[in-house]
């Protein structure tokens, strides 16, 4: 891996951050509308699950938290790669680079992505794997 590739990767990841931040800001309490489905029991249940009884909770809050974690994680990946690029600028430095150097540079991002999984409602393990703790539905796959 060369520094130009690391810098380009960091630049491309950093370019995603403003879009995620914009999406998160649109989900912010007060700017997103609360679901107003009607005045009967099932409608109240729908509103409670999607945006909370008064807005700013439920799935709306989960999506906000996930987008916040994603923006932070992407920025940390970009910063980590730029740091690696600067500290391993020569061929000799890159030849001495260890896996631990990469893990250290991306350590903050790992915590952000684990928090993202937790905020989404998934069960996240310390090794980075995840499994959904709830959910149902059907789907089809086209090949």
Q: What pLDDT does 4 receive?
A: 84
- pLDDT, tens digit (0-9, with 9 covering 90-100), for 55-109: 667 777 888 888 889 999 999 999 988 888 888 777 777 777 777 887 888 888 8
pTM > 0.75: yes or no: no
Confidence of residue 16 (pLDDT cuts 50, 70, 90): very high
Which two structure tokens, joined as six digits, stand for 101?
A: 């150097």
Confidence of residue 133 (pLDDT cuts 50, 70, 90): very low
Q: What pLDDT does 56 receive?
A: 67
DSSP string, the chain: --HHHHHHHHHHHHHHHHHHHHHHHHHSBTTBPPP---SSHHHHHHHHHHHTTTSSSHHHHHHHHHHHHHHHHHHHHHHHHHHHHHHT-SHHHHHH--HHHHHHHTHHHHHHHHHHHHHHTEEE-TTS-EEESS---------
Taking only Cα atoms into account, the Rg of the chain, rounded to an integer number of angstroms, comes to 20
């Amino acid at each position: 891996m060369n520094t130009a590739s690391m810098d380009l990767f960091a630049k491309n990841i950093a370019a995603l951050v403003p879009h995620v931040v914009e999406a998160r800001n649109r989900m912010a309490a007060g700017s997103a509308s609360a679901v107003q489905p009607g005045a009967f029991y099932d409608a109240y249940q729908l509103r409670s699950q999607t945006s909370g009884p008064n807005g700013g909770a439920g799935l709306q809050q989960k999506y906000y938290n996930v987008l916040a974690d994603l923006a932070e994680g992407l920025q940390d990946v970009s910063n980590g790669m730029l740091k690696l690029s600067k500290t391993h600028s020569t061929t000799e430095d890159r030849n001495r680079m260890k896996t631990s150097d990469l893990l250290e540079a991306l350590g903050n991002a790992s915590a952000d992505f684990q928090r993202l999984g937790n905020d989404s409602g998934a069960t996240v393990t310390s090794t980075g794997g995840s499994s959904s703790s709830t959910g149902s539905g059907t789907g089809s796959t086209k090949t």
